Amino acid sequence: GAGVSQSPSNKVTEKGKDVELRCDPISGHTALYWYRQSLGQGLEFLIYFQGNSAPDKSGLPSDRFSAERTGGSVSTLTIQRTQQEDSAVYLCASSLREDTGRAFFGQGTRLTVV
Amino acid sequence: QKEVEQNSGPLSVPEGAIASLNCTYSDRGSQSFFWYRQYSGKSPELIMFIYSNGDKEDGRFTAQLNKASQYVSLLIRDSQPSDSATYLCAVTSYDKVIFGPGTSLSVIP
């Protein structure tokens, strides 16, 4: 597809379980961002990739959160031992390195921890 | 000081009026400035960008940039109920885009 693809669209998990969220960016986009958005709130920055490197991980809320990117393409955000406060929409965006402000967002993954 | 700041709103304007959305940023080295629109339950989408001081017009939208004051604004003329959304200001800094918290706009019919 031509856009940013995220999977799954919705995920319901039990507290304490691990979850993996996937982002497939637009082909050729070297910059990739993960954000979290709670209901009615703004974008909470989590992590930024340039290629496979993560120059800025400052937004990851705790060591239960990790992310990786392989082949300069697909990225996976992993949340271990999920808590109810992790419930939110997780958004991924990608952009060209030379035009990093023109970010294209995926449709998001709605995570519900019960 | 937060890197990109916006009034959270909500900003309410009557249909047909001009909506004015404001944004300030902290990094004087920022070169590129963007406005995104996010409808409720949807992902943000880019609607305007501006790189040089002054005004840039696109239809009913005008972006204004003043680098000396570190200030960016978005004017929406002839506001329509369909413009009701959250508007996010974004700034590039050190090869990365930084988003503001967004301003919620409500256009009242």
DSSP-derived secondary structure letter, B18: P
**So what's the pLDDT on residue A98?**
82
Contact assignment for A100 to B95 by CB distance below 8 Å: yes
**So what's the pLDDT on residue B2?**
66
**So what's the pLDDT on residue A99?**
85
**So what's the pLDDT on residue B7?**
86
Cis peptide before B44 (omega within 30 of 0): no
pLDDT tens string A83-107: 999 999 999 999 998 888 999 999 9
**So what's the pLDDT on residue B1?**
58
A109 touches chain B (CB under 8 A): no
B25 touches chain A (CB under 8 A): no
Residue stretches of chain B with pLDDT short of 70: 1-2
Nearest to B92 among A33, A100, A107 (CB): A100
Contacts of B69 (CB under 8 A, 6+ apart): B24
Chain A 35-94, residues with CB within 8 Å of chain B CB atoms: 35, 42-43, 45, 48, 50, 55-56, 91, 93
Contact assignment for A102 to B46 by CB distance below 8 Å: yes
Q: Which helix (H) or strand (E) holds A98?
A: none
Do residues A89 and A36 make contact, with C-beta atoms less than 8 angstroms apart? yes
Residue stretches of chain A with pLDDT short of 70: 1
The torsion region of residue A84 among left (phi > 0), alpha (psi -120 to 50) and beta comes to alpha
**So what's the pLDDT on residue A1?**
53
B95 touches chain A (CB under 8 A): yes
Mean pLDDT of chain A: 94
**CA nearest to A38 within chain B:** B41
**So what's the pLDDT on residue A49?**
94
